[in-house]
Structure 1
Amino acid sequence: MRVAILAHEKFPGDAKTALGVLRYADHDVVAVLDRDSAGTQVGDHVADVQDAPIVSGMSAVDASIDALIIGVAPIGGGFDESWRADVVTALERGCDVIAGLHYFLSEDEEFARLAEEHGGELRDVRKPPEDLTVSQGRADEVDAEVILTVGTDCNTGKMTTTMELARAAAEAGHDAAVVPTGQTGIMIEGWGIPIDRTISDFTAGAVERMIREVGDDREYLFVEGQGSIVHPAYSAVTCGILHGAMPDKLVLCHEAGREAIHGYESFEMPAIETYVDLYEGLAAPVRETEVAAGALNTSEYPETAAADAIAEFGDAVDAPAADPIRQGTDELVEALL
C-alpha cells in the first residue's frame, strides 16, 4: 500500500506512530507531511527507517497514494483542526484515511460525506469491538510463552521493543507474534484491540481475548504494553494489560535521562528498582512473573555515555539490558527465550 503520513510539527520526536509505521509497517511511504520540516528527507532526521520526502501538506504530494495515515496521537487523542485540509484533500482524491485518535473521523460529518462521495474509507483503529467482556483469568492456559513490555512512563519504547523482539525471535526460527494493544501496533500488524479506548471493566478481557485467539498457534507472544503503572493518567490501562495478559516474563522499558513523567513533569519518576518491585508485586496475585530483561532508549546519548547508562540500567533491573535499536536484541532474546 502506498501511503502518506501526517506528522505536522511533531516529526520525528513526538510522532511515535509515524516512526513506527516507517520502521515496521509493510507500506511504501510516499511522503511525510510536516510543515516545520518541509523540504528535508526523513533520513535527515532518522537514519534507520524507510526514507521519504517531507512536504508541507497533501497539496504537495504529487504521487498517487492509497491512504493518508495520521501519524501523531496527542495527549487525549484529539483531532487538530489544522489537519483538516490535508484529510479533506486526501478524501477528495479517493484515498482512505487511517487514524488512531480518540476523535473518530468516521463520525465527522464532513469527512464521512467526502468518503462516501469519493469512495474512500475512514478507518478509526482506536475503535474497539462492541462485544468485549470481562476477563476469565485464562490467558495462562495458552501454549505460547507470553512476554509483556512494561514501562517507566509513556513513550519509553514499549512498542519498538515489542516489534524488535518479535522479529528477532522469528529470525531465530521461533514462531512468534505481536499482540498489538495500541494504535501504532494495530496499524503495523493489521489487527488488535486499542486497550486505552476499551471500557475499564473489559480491558483485561480484551487482552485475554487476543492472547487466546492466537496463543495456541504460536511459540511466543510479545504483548505491546501501554503507559506505566505510576502514570497519573494511564496507570489503569497498564494494570489491565498486566492482569489480562498473565505474562510469563516482563521487559522493563525506560528512556535514559528521563526523571519526570512526560507531560506531567510535576511527578518525579521513582527509582528503577521500585518499578521492578511494583510490576512483579502487582502481577503476583494473578500470575507470578518477573522482569527478565530491560530495554533502554539511549537515542539522546553519545556512544560512551549510552554504554554506561545501559550497564547502570541492567544493574538496576538485575537482568540483561540493551538498547534494541542501537545494540540489537541478541542479549535480550537470549534472556527471554
Structure 2
Amino acid sequence: MNKINDDNRVKAVALAHGAFGTLNGKTANGVILYEEEGRYNVLAIIDRAKAGEDAGEVLGIGTRGIPIVESFEKALKLKPEALILGVAPPGGKLPDEWRENIKSAIKNGMDIINGLHQFLNDDPEFAELAKEYGVRLVDNRRPPENLVLANGECRSWKVPVVAVLSTDAACGKHVSIMEFMRSAKKAGYNPGFVATGQSAMLLQNDAEAVVDAIPIDFAAGEVERLTKQSIEKGRQIIFVEGQGSLSHPAYGPDSMAVLYGCWPAATIL
C-alpha cells in the first residue's frame, strides 16, 4: 500500500536510532503501521542502523514510500514540521545523544512530540529555545488537569467495553487494537478506541491519557472518564488499551487501573 501524500496533517519525521522495527521502537513502528489512521504525515524515519531501507519493508507491510535516513540532517531536507521521539526505552529517559537533534529541530521551527517520562518543557535549555523559536514541546505523558477519582459508574454502562491486555509492556496492545478497529469497521460496527499509552496517542482515537504517568489514586478515574467520552460518541463497542500486565512487578498497578476504570465486559490477552 502506498503512502498518502496529499493530506493536511502535520508533516513529521520520527527519531528511532537503533530501534526501528524492534519492541523499543514501538512509537515509530506504530506511526508507520497505521500511518493512514495517524495524526501525522510521516515523511521519514531516522535510524542509522537501517538507513537506506523503506520503513514499510522493514515492518513487513510492503513498500510505503517512507525512507529511513541515517541522520536528522538528511531528514531536514524533507522540510518536516515536527519531530517525533519514536523510541520507548525502559524508564522513559531521554537518551543524551538526542539532545543535539532536538535542539536542531527546534531551531528549524519544528514542534517536538515527546512520549517519554522526562518532560521537555521542564528542561530549561529546551524550554528557552522553544520560546525563542516559537515552537511547541508536546509532552504527551504530562498528566491532564482536574483529575478525578473513579466513582464506579462504569459498572452500569450498556455499551460493551473490551480491555486489550498483555503479559508485558511493549508487546503489541495498541497494534492489536488498531487491527480490531479495522475488523470491526469492516463488519459494519461503529467502534471506539481509548488510548492509555504514549504511542497510541499519535493515532486517531476517541479519548486519551497516559495512564502510567497519572498518580495512582486517580488513574482508574481517568480511564473511567475517557471511556465515558467514547461512549458519548455513540460507539457500539469500545476497545480500551491496557498497560503492562497484572503479573508484572513494575506495571501491575497500571493494568489494575485500566480494569477498574473501564470495567470491561470482556478482555483480550
How far, CA to CA, are the matches of 1:44 and 1:224 in structure 2? 27
Q: Counterpart of 1:238?
A: 255
Q: In 2, distance between residues paired with 1:89 and 1:232?
A: 38
Identity of aligned pairs, percent?
38
Partner of 1:171: 186
Question: Which of the pair has more CA radius of gyration?
Answer: 1
- Offset of residue 57 of structure 1: 2.1
User: In the alignment, is the contact (CA less than 8 A) between 1:101 and 1:126 conserved in 2?
Assistant: yes
CA contact (8 A) 2:39 2:202 kept: no
Alpha carbons 1:125, 1:187 under 8 Å: kept:
no
Quote the Cα distance in structure 2 between the aligned partners of 1:242 and 1:51.
Answer: 39
Could you tell which deviates more after superposition, 97-106 or 29-38? 29-38
Contact 1:70 / 1:98 at 8 angstroms: preserved in 2? yes
Question: Aligned residue for 2:132?
Answer: 117
Name the residue aligned to 1:296: none
| Amino acid corresponding to residue 238 of structure 1 in structure 2 | S
Q: How many Å apart are 1:153 and its aligned residue?
A: 1.6
Aligned residues: 252
Whether the 8 Å contact between 2:189 and 2:237 is mirrored in structure 1 is yes
**What is the aligned partner in structure 2 of residue 19 from structure 1?**
29
Q: Does the 8 Å contact 1:148/1:249 carry over to 2? A: yes
Unaligned 5+ runs, structure 1: 253-337
Partner of 1:180: 195
Q: 1:229 corresponds to which residue?
A: 246
Deviation of the 1:123 alpha carbon: 0.4
Deviation at 1:95, TM superposition (A): 0.8
4+ aligned runs moved over 3 Å, structure 1: none
Report the Cα offset of residue 51 of structure 1: 4.0
Letter in 1 for 2:54: Q
1:248 corresponding residue in structure 2: 265
Determine if contact 1:143/1:215 at 8 Å carries over to the other structure. no
Residue aligned with 1:63, SS: coil
What is the deviation of 1:42?
A: 1.4
State TM-score, norm by structure 1.
Answer: 0.72
The two structures, once aligned, show a CA RMSD in angstroms of 1.5
TM norm structure 2: 0.89
1:52 aligns with 2:66: yes
- SS for the counterpart of 1:98 is strand
Structure 1: which amino acid aligns with 2:25?
A
Q: 2: CA distance between counterparts of 1:188 and 1:166?
A: 12
Aligned: 1:139 with 2:154: yes
Q: Aligned match of 2:53 in 40, 60, 77?
A: 40
Q: Which of the pair has the greater relative contact order for Cα pairs under 8 Å at 6+ separation? A: 2
Gap regions ≥5 residues in structure 2: 1-9
Indicate the SS of the match to 1:237. helix
Amino acid at match of 1:106: N
Distance 1:171 1:67 in 2: 32
Structure 1 residue 26, shift from structure 2 partner: 4.3
Q: 2 CA distance for matches of 1:142 and 1:166?
A: 20
1:196 aligns to 2:196 (yes or no) = no
